Structure 1
């Protein structure tokens, strides 16, 4: 297996992130991974407008992700941030009604380049997000993967946040259901020293 590296999404790495999305059609109808942000693009907004929004959020320090690199090419990412940064999660009303407390961070989207799926890159991206969260001070982290019962019935392009099994392999524990096919997974991440 190649030696993958993790880099944070910053103004410096935005071009690599953009190249990854452009190779994959801007992801989900040109969303540019803006759906979960409070300034989420309006329905019908162009992919170019979503790209500009994402670039502005990155420049303002309001968008975070772990980028997985194969050499100098970004091939996957895991978006993470605080609940204030990423409030627009799916099944939000049900989620808030059953939450005992909000996490310090949430992982809302994991994507792997088409053609490279099924090789463990989503898990590497999730691990990278956890490492970057640890460097930022750690805390309670939540993810909202698909609960497939251990059986992969869905096309991987629809598993926008991985599977429960993948999260369990990375030290997350099941907290509760969320919607019909997703769940809330939690992990307390200890702070680590910065590089």
Structure 2
């Protein structure tokens, strides 16, 4: 298997990773941290996919991992200032650098355990670096090696970010699925 990570620009490929199995279902579409909470709560069913399609008209929303032409993984990455992390009270700002945020990693069932999440993290680093980000932050679970439900592992795991050269930059007051989230950072200069 040869994994290639590319900017997420093709709607159908993004939909394959973060869209619903049934079009009328209301699922995250990885919008929860990208748009204001009120709008996120108002968008229902197919409106969410339509909103993502409009966002893609302005450029990539992150990166996708491909096995050949099949999309098998997703990572949401954007300037922190363009996300709700810009004003999140549970996840602190370490400094005033215009950092980027990596907040969601998803690998399709049947493709897990093959290093795709590691490729996605490196792809997100390259994506942010190419766009001038001085550093990339992530907010993974500090699970201490304990198994995490796949549904709630979307922010990634501390060990995966450590393996990618990220360092612990701050504790947070955010907890997800019983595990604390920490702020990790990788300088891109």
- Corresponding residue of 1:166: 160
Measured at CA, do residues 163 and 115 of structure 1 come closer, stay the same or move farther in structure 2, by a change above 3 Å? same
Whether the 8 Å CA contact 2:142–2:182 is kept in 1: the answer is yes
- Corresponding residue of 1:188: 187
- Corresponding residue of 1:153: 147
CA shift for structure 1 position 56: 1.1
- Corresponding residue of 2:43: 45
Consecutive unaligned residues in structure 1, runs of 5 or more = 191-195
Under a length normalisation based on structure 1, what TM-score does the superposition of the two structures give?
Answer: 0.82
Residue by residue over 1:59-100, the C-alpha shift from the partner in whole angstroms, topping out at 9 and shown as x without a partner, is 123x521100001011101110012221257x921324x633
CA shift for structure 1 position 46: 2.0
- Aligned length in residues: 182
CA distance in 2, matches of 1:153, 1:143: 19
Whether the 8 Å CA contact 1:35–1:88 is kept in 2: the answer is no
Measured at CA, do residues 102 and 182 of structure 1 come closer, stay the same or move farther in structure 2, by a change above 3 Å? farther
Instruction: Write out aligned runs for 1:60-75 (5 A).
Output: 60-61=58-59, 64-75=61-72
CA shift for structure 1 position 24: 5.7
Measured at CA, do residues 83 and 66 of structure 1 come closer, stay the same or move farther in structure 2, by a change above 3 Å? same
Q: CA RMSD in A?
A: 2.4
Matched, 1:36 2:33: yes
